[in-house]
Structure 1
Amino acid sequence: MPILLTLLDGVRWDGTTVAGDRPQALLAALAAAGRTVGTERLVGLVWGEDVPANPGKALQVLVSRVRGVVGATRLVTDGDGYRLALASDQVDALLLRSRARAAAGTLGADPVAALDLAASALALAPAGVPDPASGPLADLRHAAEQDLRLATVVRARALARCGRAAEALPGLEDAARERPDDEPLLADLLRAEAAVRGPAAALERFSTYQDGVRDRLGSDPGADLQRVHREPAGDGQPGPRGRAVRRLSAPGPRRRPAHGRGPARLGTRRLDRRARRARQDHARARGRPRVHPAGGALRGAWSASRRRRTWSARSARRWACATRSPGVVP
């Protein structure tokens, strides 16, 4: 449907300017209500504290004047009040509200659709909203400013989620300054900043936020924000925490330590020590001892000089255990 009532940039009905503060206030009050408004309530909204001597008559005159612009079929009498016979999408301020809220509700499921809705909402007031002094029109425009801010934030977050981080970053930074405790917003900002400026900048921002939360609340940031902080970025690029995605080769077999303490290496140091001593004793010997297969007793003597030590039965058994010679029983 075409927009018939413009309230954000001037007050116009189907392109025709509505002159006068009170006619503008009447249209703004009825449009914002979206339903029938009683006579007494309308008088209070339009005149405020400056109530005329005959409020009912003054309102009738005002309604008649406005009907000369919008038509009697659009400004109708309903019981003890009046209402505008308009759909919400025929009033620019109401259309802005509905599109901004729809964009916010669609962001999580469909960022592309949210981006389109936010852009169409912002197009309704490209130059912003002027701020009148007071009255129903001022209240309506103040609410429209909030809707514009919401649409701006949603647009920036949708840009970031659509992979357009460079376009999203300025808007996200402005929004984060206005809403420093909005962690979903900060999560999108961290991703965009890591993509544009590198992980170090995103890590610094997260650390600053984390320190502030701990100082104010004595707790850590939410689980979702910490998950964003830990996640790496795709395509091998560093994520917000500064860790790059690296493809590691498959690990090879684990090397067994030289002297372990596990069951597979139990007592290896002792056996190595015995073998080393046996080799040393064997090197000093001129020949090998003759060991009986059954008892392992030493028979005979070494054919060595008397000055050399004779092998004891203990040395012979130690050597046989270490070298495991055939026929030797330790």
Structure 2
Amino acid sequence: MRYRILGTTQALRTDGTLVPVGGARLRALLTVLALRPGRTVPVSLLVDEVWDGDSPADATGALQALVGRLRRALGADAVESVEGGYRLATSGDDIDLHRFERLVGDGMRALADGDPAKATAVLDDALALWCGPALADLPDRTAEAARCETRRLDALRARHTAALALGHAEQSLPELTALCDSHPLDEPLQALRLRALRDAGRAAEALAAYEDVRQLLADRLGSDPGAELRALHAELLRHQDERPAEPRPLGNLRARLTSFVGRDDDIEAIRSDLATARLVTLLGPGGAGKTRLSQEAA
């Protein structure tokens, strides 16, 4: 049997078919047990977690009844009675959360060892395990779910670090931008977005994004960007300074799109008049070519 708690709590047979686990409290009980696979969970903790502090008068009896229902759904041997509590008879790798944790660790080690291709594959497998908000069926899931979400964000950062190392900056930018929008004060994420913009040849956008982050940190936290962002900003500025100057148009005349043939006498007359007057006015009917003539003379 395998269990999912990264999203709605589910039990699956080895062939992948779902085992119905009906009832909110039944799913909450399975979630609490799955968080601690193979370990004894005390009765008092199970009662607190499943009933969220509003335990029934006969809490022990109510829990026994709930465990009986869970055994009927999963099999008699799925939940073991042990001294002081109950235990889910399974290994950590049969729980998606624990498998996720293992894969993230493997992916981060591959990244640290200089193998971004392996890191990408492993971290993709880890992130694919998420089917919704973590521990969705746990009544009071705030603290534990926040820890899971933090770990997921760690995995996403590592995944995009690997992508940039593989030269996939352009592909990473949409998700990185969305992540920065939802976590605007996360400086490591912001640094990854700036690097992706730089690597995609969009250094000017990266500089503008840095300024947005700097202003946001000042407004929200009253602080300056950290060392990583500041170093990246300095690197972007150096890159801008080293770029060859682009040729600038002379004056404010429009670029010529076609050649200009004839009317040499008219141009010579304009030049002659300009030698003696500050203002020369061209007169003629509409469409005669006054604008083009004046531009050519200029």
Number of the residue aligned with 1:62: 66
Q: Does 1:113 align with 2:113?
A: no
Residue of structure 2 aligned with 1:4, choices 2, 5, 11:
2
- Structure 1 residues 136 and 186: CA distance shift in structure 2, 3 A: closer
CA distance in 2, matches of 1:151, 1:168: 14
Number of the residue aligned with 2:129: 124
Structure 2, gaps ≥5 residues long: 245-298
Q: State the shift of 1:169 in Å.
A: 0.9
Q: Does 1:228 align with 2:227?
A: no
Number of the residue aligned with 1:37: 41
Q: Percent identity?
A: 32
Q: How many residues align?
A: 237
Q: State the shift of 1:19 in Å.
A: 1.7
2:80 and 2:87 in contact (8 A); partners too: yes
Q: State the shift of 1:106 in Å.
A: 4.9
- Structure 1 residues 226 and 141: CA distance shift in structure 2, 3 A: closer
Q: 3-state DSSP class of the match of 1:19? A: coil
> When the two structures are superposed, what TM-score results if normalisation uses the length of structure 1?
0.60
Q: State the shift of 1:108 in Å.
A: 4.2
- Structure 1 residues 83 and 223: CA distance shift in structure 2, 3 A: same
The root-mean-square deviation of aligned C-alpha atoms, in Å, is: 3.3
Q: Does 1:164 align with 2:168?
A: yes
- Structure 1 residues 33 and 13: CA distance shift in structure 2, 3 A: same
Q: 3-state DSSP class of the match of 2:240? A: coil
Q: Does 1:204 align with 2:208?
A: yes
Q: State the shift of 1:20 in Å.
A: 1.9
Residue of structure 2 aligned with 1:23, choices 23, 26, 29:
26
Which residue identity is paired with 2:155?
Answer: A
Within 5 A, what are the aligned runs for 1:129-208?
129=133, 132=136, 135=139, 144-208=148-212
Q: State the shift of 1:31 in Å.
A: 1.2
Residue by residue, what CA displacement relative to the aligned partner does 1:299-321 show, whole Å, maximum 9, x if unpaired? xxxxxxxxxxxxxxxxxxxxxxx
Q: Give the greater-gyration-radius structure (CA).
A: 1
> When the two structures are superposed, what TM-score results if normalisation uses the length of structure 2?
0.65
Which residue identity is paired with 2:2?
Answer: L
Residue by residue, what CA displacement relative to the aligned partner does 1:103-149 show, whole Å, maximum 9, x if unpaired? 45654444333322221122113x53488575267876665544444
CA distance in 1, matches of 2:223, 2:150: 30
Q: 3-state DSSP class of the match of 1:128? A: coil
1:213 and 1:219 in contact (8 A); partners too: yes
